[in-house]
């Protein structure tokens, strides 16, 4: 395979036509951050390959399998460089499209939602629903996670009583809860959602609550503070909410929305 000649005289000129802040949502930012690092890794790999051609390769010209090993070696070096500060190209792309510096860590700890959902007033939305009193056992279980719930509420701008209500409806405060659909932990997060949210250990109460609250905050933002639609999206998926243009006609989802709001009513009336 012939080498690729690489010449970059002005790397910024390719990005001048792209509008700043065109990427706004946290989901878009996460995808852009990953794509930017992958692009820098590929570019770095090409540069390493071009440089090694002048020295007959890293493993010499006569080594058995040298070309294959060298390609793998260059690829791994490029990935490690991109994981750090790298050449700055990934940050350049990310900052051009978001107006922000590239996060050092793409995990849940570094990606936050602006607390806009704090402005949402749920009292008008839940006034027509009956309050549901949780069992004393479940209340005692969630008390152990009070500080984590407070942290999640402050970090993502979600009413702490809403977080408690979702935990009660999802798992009754049992951190080892596992559903038939393989949803796990206090806020019943499935593996694909955990990966999207950056939750590394879904059984860890802190990661589970932070991840579930982050997802709930995204849904509240998506549906402009409509609590019933956000809860329906949490239970049945936002795709089903969009498909039916409202709460899906699933008995489980309708019961879930009523149960969470019932718990929320209880907490709001007994502060």
Residues in the chain: 271
Give the integer Cα–Cα distance in Å for 178 and 89: 43
Angle at alpha carbon of residue 122, lines to 144 and 262, rounded to 5°: 60
The catalytic position among 40, 170, 175, 218 is 170
Residue 170 designated active-site: yes
Tell me how crowded residue 160 is: count the other CB atoms within 10 A of its CB. 16
Helix (H) or strand (E) holding 214: helix 205-222
Give the integer Cα–Cα distance in Å for 208 and 197: 10
Q: Which two tokens stand for residue 43?
A: 């570019």
Give the integer Cα–Cα distance in Å for 210 and 118: 16
Q: Which residues are catalytic?
A: 170
């Amino acid at each position: 395979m012939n080498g690729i000649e690489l010449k970059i005289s002005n790397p910024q000129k390719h990005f001048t036509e792209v509008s700043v802040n065109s990427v706004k949502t946290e989901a878009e930012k996460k995808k852009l951050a990953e794509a930017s690092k992958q692009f820098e890794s590929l570019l770095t790999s090409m540069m390493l390959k071009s440089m090694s051609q002048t020295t007959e390769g890293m493993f010499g010209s006569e080594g058995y399998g040298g070309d294959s090993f060298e390609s793998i070696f260059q690829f791994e070096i490029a990935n490690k460089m991109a994981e750090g500060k790298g050449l700055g190209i990934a940050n350049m792309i990310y900052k051009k499209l978001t107006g922000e510096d590239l996060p050092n860590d793409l995990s849940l700890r570094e990606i936050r939602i602006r607390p806009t959902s704090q402005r949402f007033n749920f009292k008008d939305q839940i006034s027509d629903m009956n309050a549901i009193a949780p069992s004393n056992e479940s209340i005692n279980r969630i008390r152990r996670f009070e500080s984590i719930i407070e942290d999640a509420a402050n970090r993502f701008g979600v009413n702490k009583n809403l977080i408690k209500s979702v935990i009660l409806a999802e798992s009754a405060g049992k951190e080892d809860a596992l559903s038939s659909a393989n949803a796990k932990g206090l806020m019943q997060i499935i593996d694909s959602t955990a990966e999207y949210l950056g939750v590394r250990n879904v059984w860890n109460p802190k990661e589970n609550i932070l991840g579930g609250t982050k997802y709930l905050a995204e849904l509240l933002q998506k549906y402009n503070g409509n609590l019933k639609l956000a809860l329906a999206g949490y239970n049945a998926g936002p795709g089903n909410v969009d498909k039916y243009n409202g709460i899906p006609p699933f008995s489980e989802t309708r019961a879930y929305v009523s149960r969470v709001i019932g718990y929320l009513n209880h907490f709001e009336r007994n502060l």
